Amino acid sequence: MRLVIGIGIAWIQLLTIGSNASGQTPEFRLVLDRIVPLDPTRVFDVTDVLIGKDGAIYVRQEETANISAFTASGEFVRTIGLRGTAPGRFLGAGLLGWVGDTLWSTDYTTRRIEYYHPTGRHFRSHVAWVPLDGPFLPQLLGPTLADGSVLAVPTTIPEKFSRMAPADSLPLLRLRRGSLPGNADTIAILSIRHTYGMAKRQTPQGVRQFEFQQPLSDDPIVAIARNGEAFVIVDRRVSAGTKGFFRVTKFSSQARKQFGVRLAYSPIAITPSLLNTLIPDSVRLRAILEQGALFVPTHQPPISAAFVARDGKVWIRGPLETDSTTKWIVLDENGRMEKNVRADSRLQLLEADGAIVWVVQNARSRKPVISRYRLIEN
C-alpha cells in the first residue's frame, strides 16, 4: 500500500528478550537464492503480489484490472478476472490473500471481495458490508481473515477531506472486523492524519490538485498475514525526547490479542540539513516541499513498514540508513525479539517462512522481478 524514505536509528528493546547467550540479538543478512523474471509482456502497473504455498506467483494489475498467475519459475499460466462491474470482474486496484486454498482479491472501486479457486474459477463475490462513520469517513474494505470475517482498514480521501478541514483536525477512524453478512466490531480507533497529502501542479489545462503519499508519515501501520491467520497494529507516533517508544500489537483472526510489546529507540530530530538528505532528488517531491504540503514531523518516524510472515513472526522495518540498507526486526510468536535482518532498501519484502524470504524489486515498475532469498546468520 508506498514510497518510504528515511535514515538510520538506534534500536533498543525495553527488556532483554530474544537474545543469544552473549546478550546480543543475532544478526542476519539476505542472500539471493533464485530470481524469477516475470514475462514483461504480461505484467505492468503492479499493485500487489502474492506467493502461493507451492511457490506460484499471483500479480494484481491496475490498468488491466485482472490477476496474472505464474508458476514458481515465472512462466505465465493464466489470467484471473476481467474488467467490468459484474461479479468476478474488477474496476480498480486492491489486495490479494488466501483463505485456506481460496484466493481472494478486493476491489476498492466496486467495494467487493472476489473469491477464486487457484485455477481461476470464480465462485463467490461479496459486496462491502462495513458501515461508514459518515459520508466522508469511509472504511476501506480489507482482507478476508482465516475465520471468514473481513477486516476493514481505515482510510482517508484527500480530495474530499481537503475541502472540509485541515489534516490536523481530521477525526479518528475505526479499525473494524465482522462477518459476512453481519455487524462490525471495533478493534481499535486509529489516527490517520498524515498518510496522504494534497499538492498542486501546472498542467496544460491549468493548475490541478493531486494526492501523494507522505514519505515521513507517522500514522499507524496495519499489516495482515497473507493467510489471514493474524494481523498487527504498529503505533509509530514520533517521540520528541531523548528516548522514544513504539508499540506492536498482534491479534489472531478472531481479534484476540496475542501479544503487545513496547520497543524503545533513540529519536533523531529532523533538521533542515537532514530533511534535505531525506527527500530524494525528485522534482515532484521538491515541489511538494516548496508548497508546504509535505508533512515533516519534529523527529523521524521509527518504523516504515511491517508484515506478518507465514510462520506467524512479525517483521518490522526501520528507516533507510546511510549505506542504502534497511534494518528489519523480527519478533517471534510471543513478541520476543528474535533476530535483526539487513536488506537492500530497494527490496520490498512480500513473504517469509523460516529461512526463506520472497521479495519484489520495483513492484510498481513495468518489469518487476520476484526473487527468493535465504536468511544467513552473520
Q: Where are the domains of the chain?
A: 10-377
Nine-digit cell string for 80: 484471473
What does the angle CA 179 – CA 141 – CA 367 come to, to the nearest 5 degrees?
130
Pairing type for strands 173-178 and 102-107 reads unpaired
Q: Check residue 132 and give its pLDDT.
A: 45
Are the C-beta atoms of 233 and 249 separated by less than 8 Å? yes
Bridge partners, residue 51, by sequence: 57
First to last CA, the chain: 31
Fold of 10-377: Neuraminidase (2.120.10)
In order of 73, 134, 239, 315, 329, the CA distances from 307 in angstroms are: 24, 30, 23, 5, 11
The three-class DSSP label of residue 378 is: coil
Give percent helix, percent strand, percent coil of the chain, each to the nearest 5.
5, 50, 45
Q: What is the CA radius of gyration of the chain?
A: 20
pLDDT in tens, the chain (378 residues): 332 222 233 333 443 333 444 568 899 999 999 888 777 776 666 778 899 888 898 988 766 778 889 888 888 899 898 888 888 888 876 788 998 889 998 887 777 888 999 888 998 887 765 444 443 344 455 677 877 777 776 554 443 333 333 344 444 556 767 665 556 677 777 777 787 777 777 778 887 777 777 888 888 888 889 988 999 999 988 777 778 899 999 999 888 899 999 998 888 888 888 887 777 656 566 677 777 788 888 888 889 889 999 899 999 998 756 567 889 999 998 999 999 999 988 788 888 989 999 988 754 445 667 888 999 999
pTM of the model: 0.82
The three-class DSSP label of residue 115 is: strand
